[in-house]
Amino acid sequence: MNSMWDSLWVNVNLATMAGPGYGAIEDGAIAIVGGRIAWVGKRSDLPSATARETRDGNGFWMTPGLIDCHTHLVFGGERWREFALRLEGASYEEIARAGGGILATVAATRAADEESLFASAAKRLRPFLAEGVTTVEVKSGYGLDLESELKMLRVARRLGRELPVSVRTTFLGAHAVPPEYRGRQGDYVDLVVREMVPAVAAEGLADAVDAFCEGIAFTVEETERVFAAAKAAGLPVKLHADQLSDSGAAALAATYEALSADHLECTTEAGVEAMAAAGTVAVLLPGANYFLRETRRPPVELFRKHGVPMAIASNCNPGSSPALSLLLMLSMACTLFRLTPEEALAGVTCNAAKALGFDDRGVLTPGRRADLVLWDVAHPAELSYWIGGNPCREVVRSP
Ligand code: DI6
CA dihedral for 110, 115, 118, 124, sign (positive or negative): negative
Residues with Cβ < 8 Å from 28, sequence gap 6 or more? 12, 13, 14, 40, 41, 42, 43, 62
Q: Phi first, then psi: what are they for 370, rounded to 5°?
A: -85, 65
Atom number, ligand 1, closest to the C-alpha of residue 101: 11
Band of the pLDDT at 177, cuts 50, 70, 90? very high
- The pLDDT tens digits of the residues spanning 152-171 come to 999 999 999 999 999 999 99
Which helix (H) or strand (E) element contains residue 343? helix 341-347
Interatomic CA distance for residues 376 and 392, integer angstroms: 6
Q: Phi first, then psi: what are they for 280, rounded to 5°?
A: -80, 130
Q: Is residue 317 within 6 Å of ligand 1 at its C-beta?
A: yes
pLDDT at 96: 87
Residues with Cβ < 8 Å from 15, sequence gap 6 or more? 22, 23, 24, 61, 62, 63, 345, 364, 380
Residues with Cβ < 8 Å from 59, sequence gap 6 or more? 11, 12, 13
Q: Is residue 102 within 6 Å of ligand 1 at its C-beta?
A: yes
Task: Give me ligand 1 centre to Cα 316, in Å.
Answer: 9
The whole-chain average pLDDT of the chain stands at 96
Q: Do the beta carbons of residue 128 and residue 314 sit within 8 Å?
A: yes
Q: Do the beta carbons of residue 65 and residue 395 sit within 8 Å?
A: yes
For residue 1, pLDDT beyond 70: no
Task: Give me ligand 1 centre to Cα 102, in Å.
Answer: 7
Query: Above pLDDT 70, what percent of the chain?
Result: 99
For residue 205, pLDDT beyond 80: yes
Residues 390/68/397/205 CA torsion (nearest 10 deg):
-140
- The pLDDT tens digits of the residues spanning 245-260 come to 999 999 999 999 999 9
For residue 216, pLDDT beyond 90: no
Atom number, ligand 1, closest to the C-alpha of residue 240: 7
Q: Is residue 101 within 6 Å of ligand 1 at its C-beta?
A: yes
Residue type present at position 71? T
Task: Give me ligand 1 centre to Cα 273, in Å.
Answer: 25
User: What DSSP line would sit under 215-284, residue for residue?
Assistant: TTSB-HHHHHHHHHHHHHTT--BEEEESSSS--SHHHHHHHTT-SEEEE-TT--HHHHHHHHHHT-EEEE
Q: Is residue 288 within 6 Å of ligand 1 at its C-beta?
A: yes
Q: Is residue 240 within 6 Å of ligand 1 at its C-beta?
A: yes
pLDDT at 308: 98
Band of the pLDDT at 116, cuts 50, 70, 90? very high
User: What residues are paired with 12 via a beta bridge?
Assistant: 28
pLDDT at 58: 97
Q: How many Cα atoms within 13 Å fall on the side-chain side of residue 195?
A: 11
Q: Do the beta carbons of residue 226 and residue 194 sit within 8 Å?
A: no
Task: Give me ligand 1 centre to Cα 319, in Å.
Answer: 6
* DSSP letter (8 states) at residue 203: T
Atom number, ligand 1, closest to the C-alpha of residue 321: 3
Task: Give me ligand 1 centre to Cα 320, in Å.
Answer: 6
For residue 2, pLDDT beyond 60: no
β-pairing, 372-375 vs 61-64, is antiparallel
